[in-house]
Structure 1
Amino acid sequence: MSEKLLVIDTDCGIDDAQAILVALAAPHVRVLAVTCVFGNASVDDVCQNVFKVLAVGQQEQIPVFRGSAGPLLGTTTTNDPCDHFGTDGLGDVLEDRDPRWEEKIQREHAVTAMLHLVAENPGKVTLVALGPLTNLALAVKLDPTFPGKLKELYIMGGNIEGKGNMSLCAEFNFAMDPEAAYMVLEEFLCPTYLATWEYACRNALSWEFFEELTSQDTAASRFMKSVTSRCWAFSRETLSKMRDVHFGPGFVSFDSYAVAACVDAGVVAESVRCPVRVELRGAMCRGMMALDRVGRLGKKHSVTVFTKCHKDRLARLMLESLGHPLKSAEAGK
């Protein structure tokens, strides 16, 4: 299998950490850089979280770039903070943060780093976006030819049924910067793949699998057990109730669904291909993504929206990323 070059753009919270570890563990993948954006935490906390994840994955040589600290227009769809991953994005449990992290961060801004990395490898770089799309939107404004130089784009974000987790109708990453999401889905004409909120929720793994995932005798598994020790109790008891109304119970590591599809196309069992657009107006629907299945938008560019995955393959990738292959055949039950 030929080597796959990735740039990962992340607002590194707990599910981002798991997703990044999936990418680091894939033998045919080389992560060229990690670019950071606000979202699950401040951009400075995100940078520190990325350094910790790279250390756990034993790939500290990967350069890390600091990016956007807020949305394009300074406004989101909600004023409510999102702290179910803790105030630092990794559960507020880490006491060994690197005091020299600012010395290690690259001096170049994340957006210009994206531009030069892709320009140096035209048609070869896959960009994986796991947070608000602010860095990507700025990149296409700085260089309108940027999307055409990408091999492909994978996004964790958006929703297809109007069921929101950040607002009534919008998913978190898109709701945090609706203008950026709109720009990316209008101006990135490269092959684009979306792992949406509903896709992840409808393909949840079991809580028994979560226990197996975080109980392996490896440093990476112990790390995930530590950072999830506080927040997943809240997630299981509170956030899960919100998901259960629409999707049923289960463990969902949202960003892992996008990275898993990127490193193993066989993870995706079903998808739809159509034009999409992000709504920017309205008190309830701002940030919601609409699918155009009948051609009313008149757009020539379509994206691939995942709808169903092979949960056994997803579970295997997640387990292997933390150290050991899948033991249980019950991951998705």
Structure 2
Amino acid sequence: MDPLSNVLSLLNIQSITPSRLEAGGPWALRFDGYRHVKCGAVLAGSCWVTVGDMEPVRVEAGDCYLISGGAPYRMAGDLKTEAVHAPVAYREAVDGVLRYGTADEVVIVGGPIGLDEANARLLLDILPPFVHVPARSGQAEALRAALGLLAHESTAPGLGGEFMADLIARIVFVQTLRAHAAAAAAEGRPPGGWLSALMDPQIGPALRLMHEDKARQWTVAELATAVGMSRSSFALRFKTAVGSAPLDHLLRWRMHSAGQELRQTGRTVHSIAADWGYGSESAFSNAFKRVMGVSPRAYRVGAPARAGGPVKAPLPMGR
């Protein structure tokens, strides 16, 4: 399994049925931050999106975007118009469709993406507050078919409509992550963690090697040799691209993966430790607690992980 698939399998992605906004004239809506990720797509027209204190970004037909990390944001046809709190406006929505303002000059479909709380930081820590994939970019081409289906389901849902909308929203979400990684690599943007590092011609293969054999006890020298680099050059380039040292990244992914097994299976801690290449349960337990903040047994019975930065408490989602 490739690294992105590995992480996505840990996130237990849950998409709430997307809602549709049709707006026109001088309009503006302000939204509370979402706990994890908001995924959106512009089906027609254009508008402004302002996330937190960032400069407004113009999004147009065919564009997709992600808003992450709990930042509040604003959507507007006119930046000078005073914004109405979105949950108030959405009281007038009918069957998930809000017609706001004077017409349907812009049509947007979007909804929240929920992630497994224990593993959410694996993704949230490396995403910027706003990811924008313009329709004119080469990476957006693969999104067009999904957007066509999403537009159809949001206007004329048939049998199994909610299920279909959920599946399509997930496809748009993952494809937007792919596009973000590809664009960051192509444009030489500052390093964006393991996701954009997957596109690096030498660090990407190293990451894939790490994820292919969960029990192998890699050394930095072995990884460097495998991708044709010196140990020192590899260690520096990896930390610059990913944001952590090679073995620290490997340990974090392994312990999050082991944590999923602890909660989803009845296997003993000893057998899980052996699967992940640990010769003793105590060595595995020490490594697990270092990353997750609690012991394997405490984690299994529901104790929350205390690793990484805190995720903001949920706010009313509106739409």
Scaled by the length of structure 2, what TM-score is found? 0.26
- Work out which of the two has the higher radius of gyration on C-alpha atoms and give 1 or 2: 2
Answer 1 or 2: which has greater helix percent: 2
